[in-house]
Structure 1
Amino acid sequence: MSHHRSDCLVSVPLLLLILSFLLPSFFDTAVCYGKIGNNLPRPADVVAFYGQRNIRQMRLYDPDQEVLTALRGSNFELLLDVPNSDLQRIATHYLEADTWVRNNVRKYTKGVRFRYLSVGNEVQVMQNIEGAVSDLGIKVSTAIDTRSLRGVPPSIGSFTEIFQIFIAPVIDFLVSKKSPLLVNIDTYFIYANNMRDVSLEYALLTSYKNVVNDGSNIYRNLFVALLDTIYAALEELSGGAVNIVVSEST
């Protein structure tokens, strides 16, 4: 198994938060906060719920002002997404990025611990946002998923040829800023789409059998196998110094 250190954010319904603790103990675990649904609890109640269960890291998919206000003083670390609808405008000029950061980040920095900002995979947007937050110590990155990968076993992992066109300049940016790559690893959906070749135990980290042998590395769960596949793909594009933050998992 790779010796890189990864953080993990687990996307699960609030009533199933306990599933996040099935992940290996070497991960820092957080939970994504989605707001699509009916009869949702108040943001203040959700923040309190996280605190009661000692969940100290959160991903928020858009800069919801009510949620950001509720997070003040919570001491949670936050991964905040820049909505896709804002990306084109931010890419046009640094001042647009500065305005976005001022309204959605700086306004809350006295009470909210922003750790990462996730933006689209265009380097110009990433550069503009990074320039607007460089004095705040917030890392700027982008989130990818495992559909961009090819190669089994993990040691020969790489990104698909088409995806390399987009991700190569992003990796160069991440290396230059010492920022991590955000990755969504949805092992259950991989199982659901390929039950013939992927066992439920392998997908849910409960297998006690060796499933993949890769030289001296032995894999009993798909999650770690995918992590090492991504690290191999990064190394192929001169991104061996880039760490991974798992920004979502199901």
Structure 2
Amino acid sequence: MMLSSFFLWLLLFSSLFSHVLGDKAFTGTYGVNYGRIADNLPPPESVVTLLKAAKIKNIRIYDADHQVLRAFKGSGIEIVVGLGNEFLKDMSVGEDRAMSWVKENVQQFLPETKICGIAVGNEILGGTDMELWEVLLPAAKNVYNALSKLGLAKDVQVSSPHSEAVFANSFPPSSCTFKEDVLPYMKPLLQFFSQIGTPFFINAYPFLAYKNDPQHIDLNYALFLKNPGIYDAKTKLHYSNMFEAQVDAAYAALEKVGFDKMDVIVSETGWASHGDDNEAGATIKNARTYNGNLRKRLLKKKGTPYRPKKVVKAYVFALFNENLKPGSTSERNFGLFKADGSIAYDIGFTGLVPSSATSSFLSFKGIGSSFMMAFTSFAAFLFVAL
């Protein structure tokens, strides 16, 4: 009797412990951001075919588009939906508005569509809109409370991705700290996320670091290629690539403000395959090298030099090139796939159409249901499994 009681207690403790510390929104190590700022992309049903055949089980979208969520019904793919920055002020005002949003955009699709997370805002802290800094935490709390009242909080994680702009410095990794003006907003947010078991999500781009300072950054270091690396004198650790250094910089910043137990997940990383003349490193060769080596690195399910026991997880940006994104040319060329479904470059995936084909080879919008079923079976056979 005493033994059975002990095991019952142990089971309960394990369940509670996993709820507090586990990352319930990302069960693998390799995910992809499915951005859709474009007018020429395949329909969501074809994207499901692409992802399932490639064995990609984790994606992030930047909204809660109902067509996308319906298309992913029954796919088994885990989705983090986005609550756009434009909604934060409204969500922060009252829990009833958050409740309405959650019911309309999350609850009605569960459990058939595996919505496992809500990203509240994107790159708010460190940005230019100070009003959004002030409403981020109350918005996140109201969304979480709505999920909790609906009995969904254990299955749908509330998070908020950050850019590197929240850091005052990040080199060497052990010196990383949050900016002084960010701290009054970041610490309460971290406290809340710590209480509900949410990791720290950071958008980490070696490409952007190299593009901004190609004279002082070794391209091989940014691309996971052979190089001398860097040595962090404080921790006595050696870094052979910038990606791991950026992850450990986030761990160092968290540790300095009292959150040394919080996990770090990379919510965005990637490399542009094309850019303007002043965008150093934006080439197909470099994009193929970075994303290919990143994929191999993540599949090893290893930690970082500073956190060797915490398996690195990352969402690659992005699934497709997005032709309507504003800004420099590189912004429209982060895709692993082109708009017609062919691969942008080869890192082990096979596209929905041959890479040499034009978009006229197959009209996604004209695919009938019977043809789609046959094509799905063929694509599943054709793809290289991740």
Into which bin does the TM-score normalised by the smaller protein fall? Answer: 0.7 to 0.9
Q: Secondary structure at the match of 1:246?
A: strand
1:211 is displaced (CA, Å) by 2.5
The residue correspondences of 1:1-150 to structure 2 (distance < 5 A) are: 28-120=29-121, 122-134=136-148, 135-136=151-152, 137=154, 138-149=156-167, 150=169
Q: What residue is the counterpart of 1:211 in the other structure?
A: 230
SS of the counterpart of 1:143?
A: coil
Distance 1:242 1:30, change over 3 A: same
Q: Distance in 1 between matches of 2:173 and 2:198?
A: 23
Structure 1 residue aligned with 2:349: none
Instruction: State the percentage of identical aligned residues.
Output: 28
Q: Which runs of 5+ in 1 are unaligned?
A: 10-26
> Which structure: greater strand fraction?
1
Equivalent residue in structure 1 for 2:202, among 161, 169, 183: 183
How far does residue 38 in structure 1 lie from its aligned partner after superposition? 2.5
**1:152 CA displacement:** 2.3
User: Is this contact kept in 2: 1:185–1:223, CA < 8 A?
Assistant: yes
In 1, Cα distance between the equivalents of 2:89 and 2:63? 16
Q: 1:133 and 1:45 mapped to 2: Cα distance?
A: 30
Distance (whole Å) between structure 2 residues aligned to residue 218 and residue 166 of structure 1 = 32
Alpha-carbon distance between aligned partners in 2 of 1:193 and 1:41, rounded to the nearest angstrom: 33
User: Are the aligned partners of 2:170 and 2:246 in contact in 1 as well (CA < 8 Å)?
Assistant: no
Deviates more, 1:207-216 or 1:125-134: 207-216
Q: CA deviation at 1:207?
A: 3.3
Work out which structure has the larger RCO, using CA pairs closer than 8 Å and 6 or more positions apart in sequence.
1
Distance 1:5 1:143 in 2: 17
Q: Secondary structure at the match of 2:203?
A: strand
Residue-pair matches, total: 230
CA shift for structure 1 position 147: 2.2
**Runs of 5+ unmatched residues, structure 2:** 1-20, 125-135, 271-386
Q: Which residue of 2 aligns with 1:170?
A: 189
- CA distance in 2 between counterparts of 1:211 and 1:47 reads 40
In 1, Cα distance between equivalents of 2:211 and 2:100: 42
Pick closer, same or farther for the CA change 1:213–1:236 going to 2, 3 Å. Answer: closer
Q: Which has the larger radius of gyration?
A: 2
Checking the alignment, whether the CA contact within 8 Å between 1:8 and 1:28 is kept in structure 2 is no
Once the two structures are TM-superposed, the CA of residue 246 in structure 1 deviates from its matched residue by: 1.1
**Residues 112-167 of structure 1: CA deviation (Å, up to 9, x unaligned):** 22222111352101110001113222111111011222142211211111121221
Partner Cα separation in structure 2 for residue 200 and residue 64 of structure 1: 38
How much is the aligned-residue C-alpha RMSD, in angstroms?
Answer: 2.2
Which of 163, 172, 175 is the equivalent residue of 1:153? 172
Scaled by the length of structure 1, what TM-score is found? 0.86
DSSP-derived class of the 1:161 partner? coil
Deviations 1:198-237 (A, max 9, x none): 1222122223433333433110111110111111111111
| Structure 2 counterpart of 1:168, one-letter code | K
Task: Go from structure 1 to structure 2 and tell me whether the alpha carbon gap of 1:56 and 1:200 turns closer, same or farther (over 3 Å shift).
Answer: same
